[in-house]
Structure 1
Amino acid sequence: MHKNKNIKAITSFPALKGRLKQLTLCALSGALLLSVSACSEQASQTPEQAKADFEAAYNSISTERLKNDIRVLSSDEFEGRLPTTEGETKTLDFLTAGFTEAGFKPGNGDSFFQQVDLMQITADPDMTLRIGENEFVYKVNMVASSKREVPSIELSESPIVFLGYGVNAPEYDWNDYDQVDVSGKTVIVLVNDPGFAAADSGKFQGSTMTYYGRWSYKYEEASRQGADAVFIVHETAPASYGWSVVANSWSGPQYGLVSPDQGQSRVKVEGWLSRDAAIKVFADAGLDFDQEKEKALQGPYSQALDLSASVTVNNSIEKSKSYNVFASLPGSELPDEHIIYTAHWDHLGKDETKDGDQIYNGAHDNATGTAAIIEMARAFASLEVAPKRTISMLVVTAEEQGLLGSKYYAENPIIPLDKTVANINMDAMNILGPTKDVSVVGMGKSELESYLEKAATNQGRVLTQEDRPEAGYYYRSDHFSFAKLGVPALYAKGGSQPINDEIAQYRKRMNVIVTGCYHQVCDQFRETWNFEGITEDTQLLFEVGYDLANTSDWPQWNATSEFQR
């Protein structure tokens, strides 16, 4: 997931310079005060007036405008919206024009843009991993790479320790690293977390994956612990994808953010082993892999293998620049406190080596969410009286390369995180028609769900958990970048229960058409889509943000969330 091969450098965006003048929201000239919602001094409203104002804005959310914006953003003219290409320039123009027309201000000083420095590292596939007397072949039974920004890095005779799930989770009283010195060593860990293999044991959150089960966490924790390298053992069920995904997604160009320490805080080598390779490694150490897995499931576990690992990773490195878009509608009473909506504007660009259609238009993923965030801005700006808190719209780059735009923002926030009340994310909106339910991705994470439940009830809908929570979708879109740094973040969209038989039949027909189009050229705009589900969910999340912005409450993580500490 989140991979492409065509990022190219752009040294400047001349089309962005001098494009749009900042919209004056509050013109003070004598007694003149424009009736724009961002003004700092507002006329008071009675409860009846406030209700009518909200309802008018809510009902202003237009299916036709959403449809038109999705059509434009996913047109061939935008060339698949790949970062650092002409498709980015066109997309940024479209976004800044849309926010300005709506009445939102530039959110980064006098600019709508936040520069994001990207880095592409491509490992030479001509590499071999040697463990003991065995050699493992790149993409066949191992994958290895490095986040360190150096031409070549060598792992030489690094002692190996099996460290169970590679988890350090105080709230679950679990630390595989406890009293284990992994400095200068190679760590082998299992994929997912202990709850997956023992769903009824009470460990972690059962079959629902926590962040401790994500591959990215395991690399990060091994780096924090001072390991030289870490290899995750791939197994299809707990990973939720086959070895081919590992071989294809973690080979070739790998994207990241340019880091101040040039990646030196990361382990030297990050990689995967196939299950068959792991079985062989453990057998050579006189151990049974499945028996060791069972021991790792019982509690924090470590076992030295009396083997060592060696591999050389040769890198080619390319840097480029892209941009997040940030627009705000200042709050009427608490302008320093922000509700931040997110959507990613980018997709995969085009592949000129393909026969026929070469453009990955990304209509569903994520022209739908990008159109929704613009329409949401129009609705908020149409209010006669602005919400008490500021509403900000963050449309990020490079989600498809690993949530990089949102990660950069969260680590370099324009609005301090302690002034960010919540994040609400919109990614791949519902194109299958209105539903009776709302699918909450990562259900049970935070108190934001009480606001969502109220808004859903007003639509006659109920909250349900997303399909396949064991796949860890909560950790695979831009809200996660906020959650990881402590900001309560909500990701919810249309569910699976159609509102009537007509929509049920439509869903069956459309599912046949769009199944398999994720990250493919067939993710195209279709006039035959039912856009009412997108409208319904845009209104739903508008109400959530409106309610949050008009309270002084600070929603918290639930005690069972891995982010609450």
Structure 2
Amino acid sequence: MFNLTTIVFAFIIFCSLTSFGQENDYTEKIIESISAQKIKHNMEFLASDLFEGRAPGTVGGNLAAKYIAVEFSSIGLKPTGHDNTFYQYVPMHSSYPLASSELKLYLDSTEMNLHLNQDYLMYKTGQQTFTPVPLALVFVGYGIIAPEFDYNDYQSVDVESKIVVFLDGEPYSAQPDYFDGGEATIYSYSSSKQRIAVSRGAAGSILIPTDKNLNWNDLKKEFGFEDVSLAYSVSSNLSILINPELADTLFNPADYSFEDVLIMKRKGNMKSFPLKTKISFEGRFEQRDFVSPNVIGIIEGSDPELKDSYVIISAHYDHLGIGPPVEGDSIYNGALDNAIGVSALIELARTFSSLDRKPGRSLLFIALTGEEKGLLGSSYYTDHPVVPLYKTVANLNIDGIAMFEDFSSVVGIGSGYSTLGTFLNESASKFDIDVQDIPPQFKSNEEFNRSDQMAFALAGIPSILILEGLNNKYKKKEEVLETFINYLVNIYHTPFDDLNQKINYDAAVRHVKLLFDFIYRVANSKEAPEWKKDAPFVNARLRSIAERK
């Protein structure tokens, strides 16, 4: 015999299960409303020549920000930017080197003039590079100090107030516990080498590229855009990439020739030593100061306990703008990098906004500026958050969308660092999609560090980038891989990344549906995502919590 308490309890359970089932069915209907036509509509605006490549601080870049703000407003997002607008203004400074800049190489009484673009390119520009007095050069191997690998290229040389010269890359290793074996570590990045040089008191640096597949003309195009930084960032010093054809000249007549250095590289016994050459530099630059906005809107959460915590969904809307012409086209439209990502962001915002019952946590949608110039918009946001960082539980960054509608796997860039990988596994399983590791052709460290998820991670926020994998229902892995590589080699960061290429909007819809489900799970979970204990961002998270930043 059932008592009244048992009957009431059973009735409550029945109602809650019924409510859950109805909400589940309703959410499924909402997911099905994700529209290829709407994604295409926004894409065809943002990637058009009208926006002139969306470079920060340009008419096209500002027009793109305005377009996104209008879309955010029309779908009902709440503005969270400056003066109750959607804009968070990011102050920037840009500098572009002119051909009249003078870089001189000295050997005793001999003086040699080097020419911009032909002989060298500049990583950093501006008045801080001014080096009027000839300074001595010191070769420092790879320019690396890595205590965890017991490696120090600076150990035997004094570089204070001198210009250091180093090779690209890092020591070769077949052992995973020494420079991560076959994978590149952060020490291989030019920016890491430059920071180490500054920390050792060097007045500047020269990087010598040694990749035999290097095409100097391609590098000139890559460096053919203005150098942009946050207006308040710390000034850097002279940082040069030199044409490898001039490497012998730098080492002549040092104790070792450049050929000797290449032999050391092959044998794994690199040495550091002073050179007998000096350089001076007097740069001339075209400079400007401007602001470029992040575009930010919010959907407030529905759960009384969770609504004061936040999930950031981000995508950068900037691209390279107008640059060196290729086959007569000088507009770098950035269709797949990242107009389609922003179009997906807008469609996600529209879909979530259409829910009668919003997710438990609040959703912050951010279209970021300055990603192509060094994650500037995301770095500015984490310095000046509109909601507390310690209350921000996750970041899903969108930088690229699936190319093939029949993809059957995804890669979670950064999923191994946090419990966001668990949420991804659940969402992928729902769509009968596998989660695979990053293909060996692509470097996992590089991938996570290359887009805005890195800036959020450095601020302590568990972050992830979800990309299409190599597995496909009807295509071989080799065919998919060939398409990816063709894009990276021939289209990425060129004027050919425009609307003339084939774009599969059904693939975009399938990808966005997966992202919607992932966000929905994170936003409704009682358990907030967390960094794993060995993740390099744990301390940043603990610090933001302690400081209540």
User: Which of 34, 55, 60 pairs up with 1:82?
Assistant: 55
Rounded Cα–Cα distance in structure 2 between residues aligned with 1:413 and 1:370: 20
Q: 1:323 aligns with which of 289, 293, 296?
A: 293
Tell whether 2:156 aligns with 1:184: no
Q: Which residue of 2 aligns with 1:532?
A: 506
Aligned pairs, how many? 511
Q: How does 1:419-498 map to 2 (within 5 A)?
A: 419-441=391-413, 444-462=416-434, 463-466=436-439, 468-470=441-443, 472-498=446-472
Deviation per CA, 1:458-510: give whole Å up to 9, x if none: 22122231463249233322222223444332122112333225999999899
For residue 198 of structure 1, what is the aligned residue in structure 2?
173
- Partners in 2 of 1:66 and 1:501 — Cα distance? 25
SS at match of 2:138: strand
In the alignment, what sits opposite 1:344? 316
Question: 1-side partners of 2:261 and 2:484: how far apart?
Answer: 44
Q: Distance in 2 between matches of 1:212 and 1:562?
A: 17
> Of 520, 528, 548, which residue of structure 2 is paired with 1:546?
520
Residues 454, 163 of structure 1: alpha-carbon distance in 2 compared, 3 angstrom cutoff: farther
Deviation at 1:430, TM superposition (A): 1.9
Determine which of 124, 143, 147 is the counterpart of 2:121: 143
- Gap change, CA 1:344 and 1:208, over 3 Å in 2: same
Q: Equivalent residue for 2:242?
A: 273
Report SS of the residue matched to 1:474. Answer: helix
Asked if 1:521 corresponds to 2:495, the answer is: yes
Change (3 A) 1:154 1:89: closer
Using the alignment, how far apart are the partners of 2:496 and 2:450 within structure 1?
22
Stretches of structure 1 lacking an aligned partner (at least 5 in a row): 1-42
**1:230: which partner in 2?**
205
* Whole-angstrom distance in 1 between the partners of 2:104 and 2:448: 33
TM-fit CA distance, 1:433 = 2.7
**CA displacement at 1:113 relative to structure 2:** 0.5
SS of structure 1 residue aligned to 2:28? helix
C-alpha deviations, 1:367-417, integer Å up to 9, x for none? 210110011112222333332322111111233333332232233333343
The change in CA–CA distance for 1:416 and 1:539 in structure 2 (over 3 A counts) is same
Tell me how far 1:58 sits from its aligned partner: 2.9
What SS does the corresponding residue of 1:335 show, helix, strand or coil?
coil
Letter in 1 for 2:261: F
Alignment of 1:38-437 (within 5 A): 46-108=19-81, 110-125=84-99, 126-130=101-105, 132=107, 135=112, 137-144=115-122, 146-149=124-127, 153-154=130-131, 156-172=133-149, 174-177=151-154, 182-194=159-171, 197-200=172-175, 202-236=177-211, 242-250=215-223, 253-259=226-232, 263=235, 266=236, 268-282=237-251, 284-287=253-256, 288-293=260-265, 303-307=272-276, 309-316=278-285, 317-331=287-301, 332=303, 333-350=305-322, 359-437=331-409
Deviations 1:14-42 (A, max 9, x none): xxxxxxxxxxxxxxxxxxxxxxxxxxxxx
Amino acid at match of 2:226: P
Asked whether the 8 Å contact 2:137–2:279 carries over to 1, the reply is no
Deviations 1:437-464 (A, max 9, x none): 1134467444432322222222212223
* Contact residue 447 and residue 558 of structure 1 kept, 8 A: no
Closer/same/farther in 2, CA of residues 171 and 329 from structure 1, 3 Å limit? farther
Q: 1:319 and 1:459, CA in 2 relative to 1: closer, same or farther beyond 3 A?
A: same
Aligned residue identity for 1:164: G
Shift of 1:68: 1.9
SS at match of 1:421: strand
CA contact under 8 A between 1:494 and 1:533: conserved in structure 2? no
CA distance in 2, matches of 1:401, 1:173: 33
SS at match of 1:520: coil
Q: Contact 2:395/2:461 (CA < 8 Å) preserved in 1?
A: yes
Residues 231-268 of structure 1 show CA distances to partners (whole Å, capped at 9, x for unaligned) of: 2221226xx8544344443356322221265x2xx2x2
Of residues 46-55 and 383-392 in structure 1, the stretch that sits farther from structure 2 once superposed is 46-55
Q: Structure 2: any 5+ residue segments left out of the alignment?
A: 1-15, 541-549
Quote the offset at 1:44 in angstroms. 12
In structure 2, do the counterparts of structure 1 residues 508 and 160 end up closer, same or farther at CA, with 3 Å as the change threshold?
A: closer
Secondary structure at 1:326's aligned position in 2?
strand
The Cα offsets for residues 140-181 of structure 1, whole Å up to 9 and x where unpaired, read as 44334544545x711634343333333344555555456976
CA contact (8 A) 1:442 1:466 kept: no
Q: How far apart are the structure 2 equivalents of 1:241 and 1:356? A: 23
What is the distance in 2 between the residues matched to 1:352 and 1:189?
Answer: 28
Residues 68 and 505 of structure 1: CA distance in aligned 2, closer, same or farther (over 3 Å): farther
Secondary structure of the corresponding residue to residue 122 of structure 1: strand
C-alpha distance in 2, partners of 1:564/1:171?
18
> Which has the larger share of helix?
2
Q: Secondary structure at the match of 1:284?
A: coil
Tell me how far 1:357 sits from its aligned partner. 5.5
Residue identity opposite 1:420 in structure 2: T
Calculate the TM-score normalised by the size of structure 2.
0.80
AA aligned to 1:424 is L
- C-alpha displacement of 1:201: 5.2
Q: Which amino acid aligns with 2:348?
A: M
SS in 2 for 1:477: coil
Distance apart, 1:55 and its partner CA: 2.7
Percent identical among aligned pairs is 27
Alignment match, 2:9: none
Q: 1:313 & 1:44 partners in 2: Cα distance?
A: 73
Per the alignment, in what secondary structure is the counterpart of residue 494 of structure 2?
coil
